[in-house]
Structure formats: C-alpha cells, structure tokens
Structure 1
Amino acid sequence: MRYSLTSIVIPSVNGLMLLRRCVASIRRHTDPEKTPYEIIVVDDGSADATAEWCADERLPFVRLPVNAGFPRACNKGLRMASGDQLLLFNNDAMATPRWLENLLDALHSSDEIGAVGPVSNYVGGRQRVDLAFDGPDEFMRIAERMNVPDPAKWEPALRLVGFCLLFKRAVYERVGGLDERFSPGHYEDDDYCFRIRMLGYGLRICRDTLVYHEGSASFRLGGEAAQQALIARNRALFLDKWQADPAWFH
C-alpha cells in the first residue's frame, strides 16, 4: 500500500552529530515509494552549524534565535508541515527497517485511531522493551527481525511518549499544537495524548515497530538536578491544568 505524505518534524538544539545520524537513518530505512515523506528540522537556537548543514542538505528548516524548548519548536515545525500525517521525532532517535510503514498501517487501520507510537530501548511506560545490544548496528539487526507487520501487536494505550509520535492531520487540526506552558519539555506529550483522547480518538502502541532512542540527550546538557526540577514543575502544571495525575495514564 502507498500512503500519502508524512511530515517528520525534528527539533534539534546543539545536536548536529545526532541530527545527521537521525536524518541518515530516515533516508536509509524509509521507502519514499511506499511512504512518501518530508523532513522538517527546527533549529532551536543552536550554536553549532545545524542551520548550515540543513541548507547544504536542502532540508526544510526553521531557525529560532534562542532555545524555545521542545513544545514551541515542535509547533513551529508542525505549522510548516504539509503532510496528511505528522510525526514528531527526536534528534537522538534513529529510524529502523519498515518503521514508518508499520506505524502508518496501525494509524490508518481505523478512523477512531488518532495517534500511534513504537516501542523502544529508552522510553518511559509501556513502550519500553528491555534489549541487550552492543551499539546501533546490532540494534538495527534486532529491529529487522522485530519489525514484521502484525496487527495483533497493536496495543491500546492511554498515553504515548513524544520521542516518536505519529498522528493524523485531522487530529492535529482539531487538537491544535503542543501546550507551550510545558516548555522546555516534559509532560507536553502526556497533555497532548490526553487532549487527543478527550476528542474520542484512541492511541496505539505498535509492538511490531522498534525504534532506537538514545534518550534525553538535550535535557542531560543541563544536569540531573535541573532535569528533575523541571520534571517536578511540569508535573505540577499538568495536575493544575487537568486535576488528574499523569501517572494514572502510564
């Protein structure tokens, strides 16, 4: 089956090496004949050569003058996107064999499904799978074996993690963008999934799709104490907004 265009939005801040690896993996493991795609990079106030590299690679990108945070960067990219499907993808993630085709199969298996996400080696909640592997090359070999399309492995969920989140444009047009009160990041994906479900759409974890994730590469730059303080602050924001504990949905 051939799908319509998917827009892959990749926010990146001072992560050119990760971004280059991420984009290379998408190009290697995504068949444009079956799953046409565009890549949109949001250079979130980087001090490295991200913008110059994107220009050299002829990648559509938007350059923010200062680091605006993950939710704002994603929203900038989503507003540039032209695809019928929209995919938020972290720069420290890597595409794997048949990744996008499998995710699209699940997303379009029913009109009531609003968003889907893969399983990964580094992710919170039920999307995490414990794997023993020695580097990205071995991970790709594992993914080659695991990423066999299987609707029996599409699992209903209350929440998906935003490191690799695929949703329909029709959903985006109803839900809107990420809530920027959660900038620079954490719990904006919990909030977005909650809003999707409030409109009656379902979420699916695709256990037939394994995607690599290095994990918290940008947030680690600020140190562990700062990251934990941010998590606590944004959890409190979620509680205040919804009068609900996000842990209920994990």
Structure 2
Amino acid sequence: MNTILKLLNDNHWDEALKEFIEYTNHHEFDEQTCIIGATIMEHFGKYDSMFEFIRGGLKINPFNYELYLLLGNYYSTKNMIQAHISYENALYHCINTGNDDDRNFIEQLIKNTDVSTIQFARQVSFVIISYNTLDYTKACIESIRTTCFSQCYEIIVVDNASNDGSVEWLSKQDDIFLIKNNENKGFPAGCNQGINAAKPDNDIFLLNNDTIMLPNSLFWLRIGLYNDENVGATGAVTNYASNNQIVGSQFNSIEEYIRFGTGINIPDTNPYEEKIFLIMFAMLIKRKCLNSVGLLDELFTPGNFEDNDYGLRIMEKGYKCTLCHNSYIYHFGSKSFGKNPKHFEDIYNINREKFINKWGSYLSKNNLI
C-alpha cells in the first residue's frame, strides 16, 4: 500500500492503478483500500467504479469523512446540490474524527461551492409534536443532536398542552424553539404551527417524537430530496409504519435495530421508490414543494389520513413522494394515539370517511384504488 501511495503522490497514475489491482487481488478491502480505489477511479473518470468503492468503504465505516468528501466529488459530476450536502456531511464527520488541516480544507471547499448551489441546498427545520411523552421526546431530541450537523438544522417543538413535565424540560433547551399550546390542537394543526415558525427558506422535516434518528438518516433523506427537481418529499424506512415502509427483521432490542439501520444508511445505486404518499412519522418536504402545496389540511384533526391527503396534493402539483431505502429511522410507534385504541379506531374511521369524500372521485379517475 505504501508503494501505491508514493506513486499517487508522484502523479504516476497508470503505475498506481496497476499496483492497486495487484494489491487488491491478494488483500481484503478495508477503508483505506476503498479510499485509494475511489481516488484512482475518479482520476480516470470511472465514476461508477468510484461510487462502488465509496459504498464499500462506508459499509465498513459509515463515519469516514474522507469517503463523504469523495462522494461529494462524485456528485459534483452530476448534481452540485448533492455534492454540497455531501461536503457538509464530510465536514460534520471530520469535526468529530478528523484533524484541523482536513477540516479547513473541507470548509474552504464548501465556501468555494457555487453561490446558487448553496442557496438551494437548504437547511432543515425539524418540526416535532409533543404530547405527554417526555422520555420519548428527550430520546428523539438527543438523537438529532448526536447524529445531525448542527449547522444545518433548527429544532421546533410544538407542545400540545402536556402535563408530564415536557413543557418545563423543553423550555430549558437552548437549541429548541418551543411553541406552547394551551390545548391539544392535534397533529395537523400542530405541524402547521411549527411550519409557520420555521425559517422561511428551510426545508421542513416532520418527525414524530417517538423516533430515534440514526447516523446519516437525515443526510440520505436530503440527498434523495435533491436527486430530482420533481421530488417534493422524501421518507425513511423503519421498523414500525404502514405504507410498506418497514424493512428488515424483528429484533430484540433498540440497539440491534440501530446497528441494523446504521448499516442501511449508506450509498446505494437505486435506493428510491416512488410512493403515492409517505407516512409523516419522518417526512422531509422540499420548501419549493411546500410553498406550492401549502400546509397540512386540518380537516383531519386530530390525526390520521393527513399524510395520505398531503401525498395526493403533492402529486396534483406535479411533484413526487420518494421513499429512501437507504435512510432508516427507528420508530417506537403509537405512543400518543396508542394509549387509547378505541379512540384511535374511532378517529381513524371518521377521517377515512373524510378522506374518501375529499378524494374518492380523484382516486377512481386516476386508477389509484
């Protein structure tokens, strides 16, 4: 490997390629092998091979900032917004594990990115609804803090008149913008309050408070959101959801789910699935799409079918809902509605009727039922 590195430093790329091929015929791949392989493939313009080396390296270590830097270089040949987001992720992981010289290099690279690209690689506003589930809210907030780049997001929590100490705890958090309701306004109205309070240029991430963000979950949702200008919203796969958004086996502990999900949150050649709608337990909405579609329909208060409704409204405006199979978020599930199953069933049936009344003819006309 030292011979290959010396050849690369001396710009002897053809010889380095030959030595690299010989080396990989007799050694197992590790992070360094993948970094060198991606670098060589980039030099020769073999971008598909470059991507596979990056993917292999991040499968070994999903926190390697050098690989995200290379991923940014890969995307720079296709999509500068995705490149910019990748460089941001490289900086985030470099701050945690790298050195000052590398950090300064990545920061300069980001600054040199085209101004129009920075404008459209928007930051994210988390919008979280809280109602009497403080322990879950704490875990959710902590997972955001420990897995997401603080320079790229804000957190807005709308509390629906909790009486379990949630308001008191949330009020003490310096990095949270808290909206305190005097009554339970339900999910759609609460989300709308949060959206209206968000920075006006930010994309919006509707996230249930009974979720755990995993390393790179948000990153891959953002990459998916800007994979195509017609993508209006992206959603994550998980362990608990409807709409065929569940992947993987049933595990015995949260730690096992987190290990499994972290292994999913890596590059993939075709991770996207177009959906009619996405479950709003974790849904990232592009600001341009939001401005066109509008807020959630409070007809579906206190909750259920607002996500079905929003998906169809996204479709009506010419945008797509995309499920990202390489973004996994753990979901405890039904920690608000699940406390009263009969109440949940009643609301479900009422809102299902509202949804059919609103969309029945459209669904039939477009062969969606």
Return the letter of the residue paired with 2:194. Answer: G
Q: Relative to 1, partners in 2 of residues 1:124 and 1:249: Cα closer, same or farther, differing over 3 Å?
A: farther
- Are 1:65 and 2:187 an aligned pair? no
Please report how far the alpha carbon of residue 130 of structure 1 lies from its aligned counterpart in structure 2 after TM superposition.
4.0
* Structure 1 unmatched runs, 5+: none
Match of 1:77 in 2: 194
2-structure distance, mates of 1:146, 1:220 = 28
After superposition, give the CA deviation of every residue in 1:108-163 in whole Å (9 maximum; x if it has no partner): 01110000101110000221124222222221111121111225011111111010
CA RMSD of aligned residues (A): 1.8
Return the letter of the residue paired with 1:70. Answer: F
Match of 1:210 in 2: 328
2-structure distance, mates of 1:81, 1:201 = 22
Question: Among residues 140, 152, 160, which one is paired with 1:44 in the alignment?
Answer: 160
Structure 2 SS opposite 1:51: helix
2-structure distance, mates of 1:60, 1:183 = 23
1-structure distance, mates of 2:319, 2:224 = 13
Indicate if the aligned counterparts of 1:117 and 1:204 stay in contact, CA closer than 8 A.
Answer: yes
Superposed counterparts of 1:157-236, under 5 Å? 157-221=275-339, 223-236=340-353
Return the letter of the residue paired with 2:204. Answer: L
- Are 1:96 and 2:214 an aligned pair? yes
Using CA pairs below 8 Å that are at least 6 residues apart, which structure has the higher relative contact order? 1
2-structure distance, mates of 1:149, 1:166 = 19
2-structure distance, mates of 1:131, 1:244 = 38
2-structure distance, mates of 1:49, 1:80 = 23
After superposition, give the CA deviation of every residue in 1:88-120 in whole Å (9 maximum; x if it has no partner): 000001101100100000000111000010111
Indicate if the aligned counterparts of 1:238 and 1:246 stay in contact, CA closer than 8 A.
Answer: no
1-structure distance, mates of 2:277, 2:368 = 6
Match of 1:25 in 2: 143
Indicate if the aligned counterparts of 1:96 and 1:144 stay in contact, CA closer than 8 A.
Answer: yes
1-structure distance, mates of 2:280, 2:349 = 18
Please report how far the alpha carbon of residue 230 of structure 1 lies from its aligned counterpart in structure 2 after TM superposition.
0.9
Indicate if the aligned counterparts of 1:41 and 1:62 stay in contact, CA closer than 8 A.
Answer: yes
- Percent identical among aligned pairs is 34
Indicate if the aligned counterparts of 1:239 and 1:245 stay in contact, CA closer than 8 A.
Answer: no
After superposition, give the CA deviation of every residue in 1:32-86 in whole Å (9 maximum; x if it has no partner): 35xx111100001111222221221121110010101000100000000115210
After superposition, give the CA deviation of every residue in 1:206-246 in whole Å (9 maximum; x if it has no partner): 0011111111110012x212111111110000011112598
Q: Relative to 1, partners in 2 of residues 1:175 and 1:245: Cα closer, same or farther, differing over 3 Å?
A: closer
Structure 1 moving runs of 4+ over 6 Å = 245-248
Question: Among residues 127, 132, 139, which one is paired with 1:9 in the alignment?
Answer: 127
* Structure 2 unmatched runs, 5+: 1-85, 89-120
Indicate if the aligned counterparts of 1:25 and 1:94 stay in contact, CA closer than 8 A.
Answer: yes
2-structure distance, mates of 1:233, 1:69 = 15
Question: Among residues 225, 234, 254, which one is paired with 1:136 in the alignment?
Answer: 254
Match of 1:152 in 2: 270
The structure with more helix, counted as a fraction of residues: 2
Question: Among residues 360, 364, 369, which one is paired with 1:243 in the alignment?
Answer: 360
Indicate if the aligned counterparts of 1:146 and 1:210 stay in contact, CA closer than 8 A.
Answer: yes
Please report how far the alpha carbon of residue 199 of structure 1 lies from its aligned counterpart in structure 2 after TM superposition.
0.3
1-structure distance, mates of 2:226, 2:269 = 11
Aligned length: 247
Return the letter of the residue paired with 1:174. Answer: S
